[in-house]
A = this chain, B = another copy of it.
Amino acid sequence: MNLLERTIAAIRPIDAKWIEAAERHQLELTKPPKSLGRLEEIANRCAAIRGTLSPTADRPRIVVFAADHGVCAEGVSAYPQEVTAQMVANYLRGGAAINALARAGEIELKVVDVGVLVPLADVDGLISRRASAGTRNFCQEPAMTEAEMHLALGTGIDLAAEAAAEGCDLLGFGEMGIGNTTAASAVTAALTGESVASAVGRGTGVDDEGLARKRGAIERALALHAARLTSALGILQCVGGLEIAAMCGFCLGAAAHRVPVVTDGFIATSAAALAVQMCPAAAGYLFAAHQSIEPGHARLLAAIGQEPLLHLGMRLGEGTGAALAIGIVQAAVAAFTQMATFAGAGVSNR
């Protein structure tokens, strides 16, 4: 077996007995039954993931995966392609939205170059795991070779394993890659059968002509690669991205190591949906951070069977949604593990 196959083989469905034990524990805590709403559901699942009624969530980490996209040659993005590398440099200097949100939430942040077009020079703290210098233009050929795809998947798997080994008990992930809403939209259409018209939005903000080019490029790519789009791996290789592959691997790695993992926006969720397609049991380890305004996002969330925790109209990526949702998961776990019981606190139950 290769690394991907070994990782998938290590993933066990979360245990319904732990969910039931957690539900019983919730009833003993000093609050009306189910009055913490979704916080209870979150904590119960964390208990099941970790296999304990004393789960922790105080070592959170977000990993941001960056890569470039050959499909930018089709004029699908509102921003020039060099912005990918410029934003990676911004992350490493601490000036991006994800830096501010990770600091606010006291979340450790790692930044990985999975295939930015031109390697960044002189940047401390960057994890360089370049599978190639960006993807190829998938309107003309598969976005990556099978070997490149497995390198990128392995990067995500490795980073999840590393986080687990270093004691992280709650993970999140995000991405940067100019052009990657085009790749994620193509993945969404191929994976869910959603029409291109309804799966494709404006990403970072293309105008009407840009949107038409984006839809056209995806239609052509789906036609070109139709024979290969019958499996998650075929979809990922033909119309995905290196950072999408790495995030897919990260989801699977987190599940294999029994660590709860929070998705981010549309592109991150496309990676999570590929992971769930490869291994349905991985869904039990995933929490959906939020629902962005990208039209394909709701369909992907349905595909992974998750209700988003937040609805804040965000559409930035970078792990910004994950950073906010990690705070919610931590609160859920804190309530579950720190609250007094009716008996212990001398509070009358009904």
Q: Which residues of A contact B (CB under 8 A)?
A: 29-33, 35-39, 78-80, 82-83, 86-87, 89-90, 93-97, 99-101, 103-105, 204-205, 293, 309-316, 320, 323-324, 327-328, 330-331, 334-335, 337-340, 344-350
Contacts and interface: CB of A to CB of B under 8 A. Distances in A.
A210 to B, nearest CB: 10
Contact of A95 (B311, B312, B344): B344
Given A35-B314, A39-B314, A205-B350, 18 more contacts: A30-B87, A32-B205, A35-B204, A37-B315, A39-B312, A78-B350, A80-B348, A83-B347, A87-B347, A89-B345, A90-B347, A96-B340, A97-B335, A97-B339, A100-B334, A100-B337, A101-B331, A327-B328
B38 A103 contact: no
Contact of A335 (B80, B100, B311, B339): B100
B320 A36 contact: yes
A346 B79 CA distance: 14
Contacts of A349: 79
A330 B102 CA distance: 11
21 contacts: A29-B97, A30-B87, A30-B95, A32-B204, A35-B204, A36-B316, A38-B312, A39-B314, A86-B348, A89-B346, A93-B340, A96-B340, A97-B335, A100-B335, A100-B337, A101-B331, A101-B334, A103-B338, A105-B331, A320-B335, A327-B327
A30 B84 CA distance: 12
A45 to B, nearest CB: 14
A334 B204 contact: no
B316 A97 contact: no
A348 B83 contact: yes
Contacts of A312: 37-39, 309, 328
Contacts of A334: 100-101, 103-104
A350 B82 CA distance: 11
B35 A316 contact: yes
A314 B328 CA distance: 12
A312 B325 CA distance: 12
Nearest to A310: B310
A223 to B, nearest CB: 30
Q: Which of A32, A315, A324 has the most CB of B within 10 A?
A: A32
A324 to B, nearest CB: 6
Contacts of A314: 35-39
- Would you list the 6 A-B pairs with minimal beta carbon distance, nearest first? A95-B340, A37-B313, A104-B334, A32-B204, A35-B316, A100-B338
Nearest to A333: B104
Contact of A313 (B38, B94, B97, B101): B38
A82 B80 CA distance: 65
A86 B36 contact: no
A269 to B, nearest CB: 16
A202 B20 CA distance: 25
Contacts of A39: 312, 314
Nearest to A178: B348
A324 B105 CA distance: 12
A80 B346 CA distance: 13
B313 A78 contact: no
A95 B339 contact: yes
B30 A101 contact: no
